[in-house]
Structure 1
Amino acid sequence: MPVYCITGANRGLGLEFVQQLAQSPDNTIIATTRSLSSDLGGLQAVVSPSTRVLQCDTGSVPSIHSFVKSVAQALGGDTKIDFVLNVAGVNPTPSQSSLNLGPDDLQAQIAVNVIGPAKVVELLLDAGLLSQDVRVLNMSSSLGSMERTAQAKPHQCAGYSISKAALNMLTVHQSEDLRHRLPGAVVISMDPGWVRTRMGGEAAMLEPSQSIGGMLRVLHRLSSKDAGSFYDHSGEKVPW
């Protein structure tokens, strides 16, 4: 029975991951939310009996430490996590450009979008909770692609774009560093596409079900040669 750990699972892409994975009774799901006092109605409506909803504010390292302890208690025994999906992300200031970046806003995006995924993997590894062949998906964006951003006019979401480019570099480092500890591990970045969520907006081209279905197909066929790669939801490589 594969074990999935999904951050940011109470809405948007994270919620759709839970919904699709919960359809199989073989899947054990650890679904995280920044606060257990948040509106979890949507999440509770789709969870399976083998889903555990845990608190994890990925913008807070102490919260991630507490989360990892909760995971160890929830799994118990020798059960390991097979898939880590770092989905939680923020884009609070999409109108900011490189000429009016708010330092606090950028730091908040770096905390959630970069440091969070780094610490989730690090602390789960140190706690002995990752399987030998773990697959790590860091949710990126085409806005994190330097080549695509350079071609796009006008440029958009400067702070978010910068944080996702940093996340892509984290993926490259994690893919090598994690394999020194877990030789079968594979870490990738993924661009979900422009998806119709609260962050993506109603004008987006893709339904969440399309994006997540595609990403799961890519995730489940990953091999060692894919380590450190950047894919979109259809399995096409995205330029750095």
Structure 2
Amino acid sequence: MPVYVVTGANRGLGLEFARQISQSKENILVACHRSSSSDLSDLKQAAANNASNTHTLVCDTGDLKSIQAFIDSAKKTLEGKKIDFLINNAGINSVPDQTSLSIGPEDLAEQMRVNVLGPAKTTEFLLAADLLSPKVRIVNMTSGLGSMTQSLTINPRKCATYSISKAAVNSLTVQQSGNLREKLGEGCVVICMDPGWVKTRMGGVGAVLEPEVSIGGMLKCIRGLGEADNGKFFGYTGKEVPW
């Protein structure tokens, strides 16, 4: 039974990941949410088809102590099983109106802490706890706004701090794709993915893509990844995205 871990699973893209992963009772899902006070009603409904194999655990990816506590809980929950798919989905876009000429230092630091350090440390701690399969597929959720090539075509520029953090996620992915193979062998694959402009709370006004389409496409791509795909940047259609 493949084991999936999804961060930020109680809303937005993460919620749809949980719903689609739970359609098969052959899957084990560890669905992470930010705090013990999070509303899990939508998540429980989304995973109802496979409730017995769904585990909801707290993991605030902006808090190192929370990530470490999650690792301890995951180890107990999985009882010796290894993670086959790690989807580092949790992220924020808290100041979309800022431009490169109005960056708030604390705002940028917060974006980097949650969006970059979060997936970096989640992956690092899971590796240290020996919870990653040698053939694990790790997906760092990024954005087309993190693509230098695509950002050059956007006029006016937007979401500066978020875009910078997602460009950093792309660089993190490249680094991890080499470092993890040194630890786990040639079978592991690390990629970053652009889900497209999806109709979620973060997507906001103007989003054009239904969540089920984006997540369905990403899961198809993720499940079909081969060793040669390590370190690449994909869109939800499975097509490579330019850096």
Shorter-chain TM-score range: over 0.9
Distance in 2 (alpha carbons) for counterparts of 1:46 and 1:166: 31
Partner of 1:130: 132
Provide Cα deviations, 1:19-76, integer angstroms capped at 9, x if missing partner: 0000100000000000121111111112222000000000011110000000001011
2:46 matched residue in structure 1: 46
Deviations 1:86-131 (A, max 9, x none): 0000000000001111111111110110000000110000000000
Secondary structure at 1:49's aligned position in 2? Answer: helix
Q: In 1, Cα distance between the equivalents of 2:175 and 2:196?
A: 23
CA distance in 2, matches of 1:116, 1:207: 26
1:67 aligns with 2:73: no
Distance 1:222 1:36 in 2: 34
Give me the whole-angstrom Cα distance separating, in 2, the residues matched to 1:129 and 1:39.
27
Which of 186, 189, 202 is 1:186 aligned to?
189
CA distance in 2, matches of 1:128, 1:201: 38
CA distance in 1, matches of 2:184, 2:216: 27
Post-superposition offset of 1:203: 2.1
Helix, strand or coil at the partner of 2:32: strand
Please say if 1:218 is aligned against 2:214.
no
Please provide the CA RMSD for this pair. 0.7
Q: Which amino acid aligns with 2:151?
A: T
Question: 1:155-170 residue pairs with structure 2 within 5 A?
Answer: 155-170=157-172
**Superposed displacement of residue 152, structure 1:** 1.1
TM-score (normalised: structure 2): 0.97
SS of 1:134's equivalent in the other structure is: strand
- What is the number of equivalent residue pairs in this alignment? 239
Q: Show structure 1 runs of 4+ deviating over 4 A.
A: none
Q: CA deviation at 1:202?
A: 4.2
Question: Structure 1 regions of 5+ residues with no counterpart?
Answer: none
Q: Which sections of structure 2, spanning at least 5 residues, go unmatched?
A: none
CA distance in 1, matches of 2:241, 2:38: 34
| Identity across matched positions, percent | 54
